[in-house]
A and B are shown apart, each in its own frame.
Chain A
């Protein structure tokens, strides 16, 4: 206790003498009492708290304190009675003695007055003056009236305090100085002055009293008058009573009008209507934003940024894993003269912005969020809002009381119900759709969506998510039916797209599911037979749809990347055995090239496949300069599948697109038709080759990639068996290939940054109260701090208790010693007296004897 305090005092002023402390002026310490703890090493920056101590002084202080507290307690240990000083303000040093006396006097008076003696008969009789008890007036003459007091309190109190508490001297002095000019050399004595003052104040009081009485009388009179008038007013509006004297003028028409206008719904301020150009520009900007986002994903920067963005490290980072807590210094700036505290560092702000953008981009179609005209899903939300209004109309329509303005079309559709429960299973959906025309089916699907819009009820989201899967399955069924209903699929794709925009997660997992299914089948086939057949049209359609629903140019995409692998598998695992397979394979190639049309990526399998197809269409092969890879064989029954040797067929062929149905199932064809099909396939193949040439043109080893194709094309041209149109095409491809630049720049690695040398700056460690145990969380540190504190306090307390005990023991011992000494003294005294007595007695005896 005492020690700590002394340490504090020392810490404050080691140089300045202890005299700095106000109350207790301590003389400079006795050098014999100073104990110095010598330090072996100087540690920079370490605060030494216990280098110098005054053990004697602090011990003395502790002893003194104990004597004052503990000893007292000890001495009173057997006393049950306590003396309590109840005098008013005896121990309160804030009150001056005079005031104290005044109060005491007042209290005494009060007590005496209130004491009701049974023998005092006149007690109840009260003397009054102006209806007020005289005793009261006497008692509280100072605090008569609060409000009258209030106005001149300042003056009075100033004077009074000077008079009452100044001890007379001040007042006297002041008065003399004041009155010196007025009265000359007639100084008044103190008594006179006081009397004068009292008289003055009494007079003032009286005046004030009379004034107050006057006002009271006036008020009374006013009340009286009012009561008289009140009767007159009573029969008018009872409300005006409450309003008091102020009468409100009756509102006239103008006022009412103004009020009404005030309350009228005001038109909300809104953006002005945008012109067409502006709208177009906004749309363009939106698309540009989305495109930029797409490009970023295409280059796969995202991950790199996440991973690689180097954290800023100071040059003298020790790379020892020690990181300062977040740098939360803020830039100080001023704005309009006030300090402007920036909320976030700008980098973060921009990132959050970009995040927001991302959110915008992806939440397209989320109806709750997107209603601004400039939100990226403007179009979508328009549709939604239209839907919304349409739905309300529809809901109203069945109402029989309302006249419907149904036109013919509506009448024709009248047999369709307007509301549909969302199907819970695929069979349910199928039963809903079966037997209806395509138009109706679309309408049904649309209505299911509208009736179960997620904003309408809680479970609708899940229902519509399921609907996507069912629709996808339905599309697969349509594609595998004979003949495939491609028109229906074409229409349903739009629905799928809308649903996908609403539920990206569910849609992606559904698409993934169908892809996995298809791949699983194929893998099973490969494992059992070593090869796989081209899958049905449904898988091809699924792959195409995946490309429509998701951005195919991303560096990595949860749906598109598996779809790409799926396409690659189709091209590498499935041998081409029929014309139908050729059509399918070419469709796969088209889808593949569509997928990479934006990102311009390189597909080895595709080149291989095209080489194989071209090989099938080429007569007189020398098989030099190219090698066929897996699904194709140089020799075999299918090696001349696309060869057309019929002159007539060649002559009558016209270039046209391949019907996708052929991929589903090729009808039996006549020889000429089959030849035409072959030529069409070849045409598509050549077109794809051309496309590849333009796409791969920029690749560094373009000529090595294209060499097999070039060789085959040259052979093909040399054969001169195909229609002139195709020959022309091949020739143009060949020239295009030749045109590509042929320069090879040697590869050079990127320079890696030199690793910075390690510099040695001190490692900064926050010195905690409890030591240097670092590296845990805030809570843990706080806990440790508390534990440490508790332990220290506990130790201190134990030490104090021990010292107390020692002190007490010492006291008891000294008490005992004192008692013993007393007893000894008394015994000695007794002995003394007895010895004297004895001596006297002996002397007496001797005397007698002598006598």
Chain B
């Protein structure tokens, strides 16, 4: 076979070969040439070859020229004395398999264009194979799906070596279809199980890919009557599992639980927790099974446990879960870093939610209030602007806690009765204390913080202050806001005349720094 240079030449040559194979069974050996190009290193050539394969096997599948049923080994068939047609079909099916394997390899590692092309080709094969199954239906109306092929596709997507987030984005559009989604969940469960089976260390890329795939699976909220299927079927049978949302949920749950039972890296864990409450928990068949994961995450400490609380709260709130140490955990989470982490807004939103019940015992709320006030002593102004109204809201909600700011005729103490190291809010003796911290914060350098802290000086108003707009406040926003504010006219000026950069009397900088 003469080969022309350049991709255009290659395309023509491959086109001719495909035409020849399709036209005449005698030219079937040309398939080897096409498959050979598939092994090439050149990106363009591979792309051409993939397209050619797609056309060739697509046409063959549609015509039904591939062997249907349990595939015998090639040698046996060749040696056997069956009809030439059967031999041809078996042989062609073997070529089809090798083509699919090669495409699966390409999916795992090559440039993005090739991957994309390979993926779309494989999905096309999946569709065609679904329509013209390569197995014999065991009974009438048997649901057939190319499981093997699809598993290899998903396996290729969940590569352990390369980050496939872009490719997974492409794949997401196939997930719109019910059958693909169902089988993806099954395949992903398998793939995760296989990847972690017996291996102590699983690379981070795999987890990333798996998480991306898993998180892009989203179930519909209710059962819809006309399901959209990727593989076209003449009619849908009620007996098929794919049709029922319940089965989907089961698969979904299996997939997530299978995924979450592993020792996930911290980052993945955080990512999972961020989406748990709104895209995982509602779709699970038995959400309570998540408790293992959530409890484990909750014990990790820091931001992770903070995120886990949200899921736990949903379980407690909606699914009747008993979790006795919930508030203790929450209390334990309050440490100075709360004000500096990225999830500050979310944390306070949740804390507001958790503490919104008016049936909480006073000692608990008092302990939280005191703890927050204590932490506020190390907080930056933007956090203070959130936490001070938060504390005031707590006091408003629980009138029993008002003794923290108003204890007439109380004895004068020589130490704060509150014990900050006590982990149990019940033992912290917060109710015997007062919020001296707020008194200290009334002397804060930022005028608004000072004003917010001064709110406890007067009797608190009845209506709560909504902290929602304050949650997302950043330091830069506060800074901008201060700049925008119109001040008194004229601007007050310093009246001590300047004598230089460090020239002022009793200048602290001048004591510790020199200009030269």
Q: Which A residues have a C-beta under 8 Å from some C-beta of B?
A: 287, 290, 294, 297, 300, 302, 361-364, 376, 379-380, 486-487, 489-491, 493-494, 496-497, 500-501, 504-505, 507-508, 512, 515-516, 519, 523, 526, 541, 544-545, 548-552, 554-559, 561-562, 564-566, 568-569, 572-573, 586-587, 590-591, 593-597, 599-605, 607-608, 627, 629-630, 657-661, 684, 687-688, 691, 699-705, 742-750, 752
Contact = CB atoms under 8 A, between A and B. Distances in A.
Interface stretch (B84-92, B144-152, B451-459): B451-459
Among A519, A558, A603: residue with most chain B CB under 10 A: A558
A361 B495 contact: yes
B501 A512 contact: no
Contact of A550 (B436, B456, B494): B494
Contact of A551 (B456, B492, B514): B492
A750 B443 CA distance: 17
A589 to B, nearest CB: 9
Contact of B512 (A562, A608, A629, A657): A657
Given A602-B440, A602-B443, A701 B377 contact: yes
B493 A487 contact: no
B504 A603 contact: no
B63 interface: no
B446 interface: yes
A630 B302 CA distance: 13
B508 A493 contact: no
Nearest to B381: A568
Given A572-B475, A586-B512, A629-B378, A743 B412 contact: yes
A659 B514 contact: yes
A691 to B, nearest CB: 7
A566 B479 contact: yes
Contact of B447 (A294, A363, A556, A602): A556
Contacts of A566: 479
A601 B336 contact: no
Contacts of B25: none
Contacts of B447: 300, 555-556, 561
A572 to B, nearest CB: 5
Interface in B467-508: 475-476, 478-480, 482-483, 485-495, 497-504, 506-508
B60 to A, nearest CB: 52
Tell me the dominant secondary structure on chain A's binding face: helix
Given A496-B498, A594-B507, A747-B404, A661 B516 contact: yes
B443 A601 contact: yes
Across the A-B interface, the 6 shortest Cβ-Cβ residue pairs: A746-B410, A630-B340, A558-B487, A497-B498, A746-B407, A700-B436
B491 A559 contact: yes
A603 to B, nearest CB: 6
Contacts of A629: 336-337, 339-340, 378
B416 interface: yes
Given A549-B494, A550-B492, A602-B445, A745 B412 contact: yes
A494 B513 contact: no
5 contacts: A490-B515, A508-B491, A550-B491, A568-B446, A746-B434
Given A597-B506, A747-B436, A569 B475 contact: yes
B515 A487 contact: yes
Given A602-B443, A629-B337, A747-B439, A500 B493 contact: yes
Interface string B330-355: 00000111011000000000000000
Given A595-B445, A747-B434, A704 B416 contact: yes
Contacts of A545: 501
Contacts of A287: 495
B62 interface: no
Contact of A549 (B379, B493, B502): B493
Contacts of B515: 486-487, 490, 659-661
B396 interface: no
B337 A627 contact: yes
Contacts of A658: 512-514
A198 to B, nearest CB: 91
Given A376-B495, A629-B336, 8 more contacts: A497-B494, A526-B476, A548-B504, A601-B445, A627-B378, A629-B337, A629-B339, A744-B436
A687 B513 CA distance: 12
Nearest to B412: A745
Interface in B384-405: 384, 404-405
Given A361-B495, A364-B495, A568-B381, A561 B501 contact: no
A290 B495 contact: yes
Among B340, B489, B508: residue with most chain A CB under 10 A: B508
Interface in B403-437: 404-408, 410-416, 420, 434-437
A526 B489 CA distance: 35
A658 B483 CA distance: 32
Contacts of B506: 597
A364 B501 contact: no
B441 interface: yes
Contacts of B441: 602
Interface of B: 335-337, 339-340, 374, 376-381, 384, 404-408, 410-416, 420, 434-437, 439-441, 443-447, 450, 456-459, 475-476, 478-480, 482-483, 485-495, 497-504, 506-509, 511-516
Tell me the dominant secondary structure on chain B's binding face: loop
A282 to B, nearest CB: 14
Contacts, number: 263
Given A379-B497, A600-B443, A743-B414, A587 B374 contact: no
Contacts of B511: 657, 687
B483 A562 contact: yes
B475 A752 contact: no
B445 A750 contact: no
B505 to A, nearest CB: 11
A512 B483 CA distance: 7
A776 B100 CA distance: 88
Given A551-B492, A747-B435, A687 B512 contact: yes
A742 B482 contact: no
A362 B490 contact: yes
B414 A742 contact: yes
A586 B485 CA distance: 30
A805 B483 CA distance: 78
B508 A597 contact: yes
Given A512-B483, A565-B478, A569-B475, A705 B440 contact: yes
A565 B498 contact: no
A524 to B, nearest CB: 10
A314 to B, nearest CB: 25
Given A494-B500, A701-B437, A752 B459 contact: yes
Given A519-B479, A747-B456, A491 B500 contact: yes
Given A490-B501, A627-B335, A657-B511, A551 B493 contact: yes
Given A519-B476, A544-B501, A556 B487 contact: yes
B234 to A, nearest CB: 55
A226 to B, nearest CB: 77
A800 to B, nearest CB: 62
A842 to B, nearest CB: 122
Contacts of B410: 746
A744 B491 contact: no
Among B335, B494, B516: residue with most chain A CB under 10 A: B494
Contact of B514 (A549, A597, A657): A657
Contacts of A572: 340, 380, 475
B435 A362 contact: no
A545 B513 CA distance: 15
Nearest to B516: A659
B483 A505 contact: no
Contact of A504 (B405, B456, B493): B493
Contact of B482 (A380, A562, A749, A750): A562
Contacts of A703: 416
Given A565-B475, A594-B508, A701 B406 contact: no
A750 B458 contact: yes
